[in-house]
A and B are shown apart, each in its own frame.
Chain A
Amino acid sequence: MAVAIRENNAQVVIGLGNPILSDDGVGIFVARRVKEELTSRRLPVPVDVVEASLAGFNLLDLLLGYQRAIIVDSIKTKGGTVGDIYQFSPEALAQTVRLASVHDLNLATALKFGKMMDMPLPGDITIYAVEVNDNTTFHEGCCPEVERVIPRLAEMVLAALPN
């Protein structure tokens, strides 16, 4: 399989979500913000910033060849406060390694499968997730509580990127 040869310190920020599904797009909007800040402040950070509306196997493709990855996504938990930011490692999702009930794999299973198959996956993966309100209505833009945390989370991502 063709995998791009990258620098040893290659890192990637992946914003996940659907940009036209209300709050679901928050990961994408954070990634865009990170990209804008890198450009406008001319920060010399070697990083690829990508946006994606995918999961499972397809998400695995985006991680190949990188040493380090930061994934930004949305999450919806019972009793969660909209706008809260969570940070976890893929291990925190490891308990969900199980047979997926829908079409594809979940992230933890995909990563474990990638490791099993000796794929060049990042050794260091950090996941940020924003508690969202509405991720089932087609609409452009997030609710104010989610919109508000986009700059803050973008700063957190930038701070987590070594120069």
Chain B
Amino acid sequence: MQRITIDPITRLEGHGKIEIFLDAAGDVANAYFQVPELRGFEKFCEGRPAEELARIVPRICGVCPEAHHLASVKALDALWQVEPPFTAKLLREILYCAHFIHSHIAHFYALAAPDFVLGPDARPEERNILGVVGKVGLEVGGEVIKHRAFAQDIQRIIGGKATHPVTGIPGGMSKGITAEEQAEILAKGKSCVEFGRLSLKIFEDVVLQNKAYVDLIVGDVYKINTYSMGLVDANGHMNFYDGKIKVVDQEGKEFAVFEAKDYLEHLQERVEPWTYLKFVFLKKVGWQGFTDGKDSGVFRVGPLARFNVTRGMATPLAQEAYEKMVATLGGRVVQATLAYHWARLIELLYAAERLVELAQDDMVAGPDFRVIPSAEPQEGVGVVEAPRGTLFHHYQSNTQGITTKVNLIVATTNNHAAISMSVKRAAEKLIKKGEVSQGLLNMVEMAFRAYDPCLSCATHSLPGQMPLEIKIFDHEGELKERLWR
């Protein structure tokens, strides 16, 4: 294999890195996944009027600003001890369902589908959304564009802007919606339900009908046995906007259920010398290194983890899809990393169904969308499920509402240990006796991509995405192969 040169892009700094080290026999000794971390965000947020944070935090990145906005307003509700009115909660959750629709569409069609529609061995020039649309047809491409735009429209109506929403404030929302806007949201949401079904149908036709792919999904290459964490509502169903945090063990047995405010009793962060990004583990299990099983506090978040913690789906079509995945993959707990893609599509359908359900509520266009906070601000923790997993915002302020401490734990940090382990596991199983090919390296990368990791810190600089570099070193530490994406 030769190095793929794509100047001037190969000269770009600030890229993600997967480094694979081989032993003398040419088998994998170790593998690391690293990303450059943005520095100083928490400090940047300190010493500011707390209510401004809801507008600052979406600037952390351009990928999930809505998740940060809502985790932030929920932390601010708690800081001012104020309960938003029902209408505000409806609007926030509708906005959020639209964000999930938008995010999951982008991930599936631009990133996940190419590996299956074109195949893991396809040339990189073909293995992209252009190749997918070339295969599945322009009509599907048109539907992708249309529903992505619908989701953006809904976010703009409620959030004030299609990205970087500004309307969430402590105690509710700064504006409501009109009956006409409600009708528009409903019509677009209903169309998204159909699109969610279409996407699952495509997954079924392309992936599930192909035995080789099903074997790949359930096989050893992409499996690690970890705890799972996600938000559930009062009925034990997954919810993106609100609920309690539930952790289940490797067999799906409940390990812990807790409120956002108690997160530090359950989660602990640690640093490793080779990366700036921290690792989070379950405090009551402890850190045993990068290993899975019951004795290791490593857990996962995101679509597959939510699938594992939920008792089922709260909407009918998503429930049907959930049952199918349970039946096909042999249980209510799935540890096959590539099944993240399937779980993500079930969530796409759920988000659309839930959006329609909420948008039908008589209160949604009501005038009562804010409660003015009156208590003295102190401390607040807000939690939401970001598309890629559980997201915590924790603020403390003085009595004037000026922030004194800000702590964030983002989804990709929660998943960091599991991503590192998944990359290593795939590399170990795929690379033998020093034999590497681009197809194999892409299959290593598939382990990482399934998590939809948010490494968006570099998405603003050209070329509009963070490049990923994969390096393979032999047992003497000499660079053997190098691949750029």
Q: Hey, which bits of chain A sit against chain B, CB under 8 A?
A: 1-2, 16-21, 24, 27, 53-59, 61, 73-80, 93, 95-110, 112-113, 116-117, 119, 127, 129, 132, 135-139
Contacts and interface: CB of A to CB of B under 8 A. Distances in A.
Contacts of B454: 102-103
A75 B130 contact: no
A75 B458 CA distance: 10
22 contacts: A18-B460, A21-B38, A53-B62, A55-B459, A55-B464, A56-B106, A57-B106, A57-B110, A75-B12, A76-B13, A76-B14, A78-B13, A93-B463, A101-B445, A101-B449, A102-B453, A103-B459, A107-B464, A132-B461, A135-B14, A135-B458, A135-B461
B129 A113 contact: yes
A54 B106 contact: no
A97 B125 contact: yes
A58 B11 contact: no
Nearest to A20: B59
B456 to A, nearest CB: 6
A1 B111 CA distance: 23
Interface in B31-57: 36-41, 43-44, 56
B40 A56 contact: no
Contacts of B164: 53
A56 B458 CA distance: 12
B275 interface: no
A98 B11 contact: no
A105 B148 CA distance: 14
B37 A102 contact: no
Contacts of B207: none
B317 interface: no
Nearest to B445: A101
A117 B142 contact: yes
A139 B485 CA distance: 29
A139 B45 CA distance: 10
Interface stretch (B230-238, B302-310, B325-333, B465-473): B465-473
B480 interface: no
Contact of B464 (A2, A18, A59, A119): A59
Contacts of A59: 464
Contacts of B36: 136
A74 B461 contact: yes
Interface string B20-40: 000000000000000011111
B212 interface: no
- The listed residue with most B CB atoms (<10 A of its CB), out of A16, A56, A100, is A100
A138 B146 contact: no
A45 B165 CA distance: 30
Interface in B342-392: none
B133 A116 contact: yes
A137 B38 contact: yes
B152 interface: yes
Given A53-B62, A137-B40, A105 B460 contact: no
Given A61-B162, A77-B11, A135-B14, A106 B464 contact: yes
Contact of B457 (A61, A78, A136): A136
Contacts of A75: 12, 461-462
A99 B124 CA distance: 6
B130 A116 contact: yes
Given A53-B460, A98-B127, A107-B462, 8 more contacts: A21-B460, A54-B163, A98-B485, A99-B127, A107-B463, A136-B39, A137-B40, A138-B41
Nearest to B442: A99
B465 A117 contact: no
B128 interface: yes
Contacts of A53: 59, 62, 163-164, 460
Contacts of A73: 460-462
B463 A1 contact: no
A79 B12 CA distance: 10
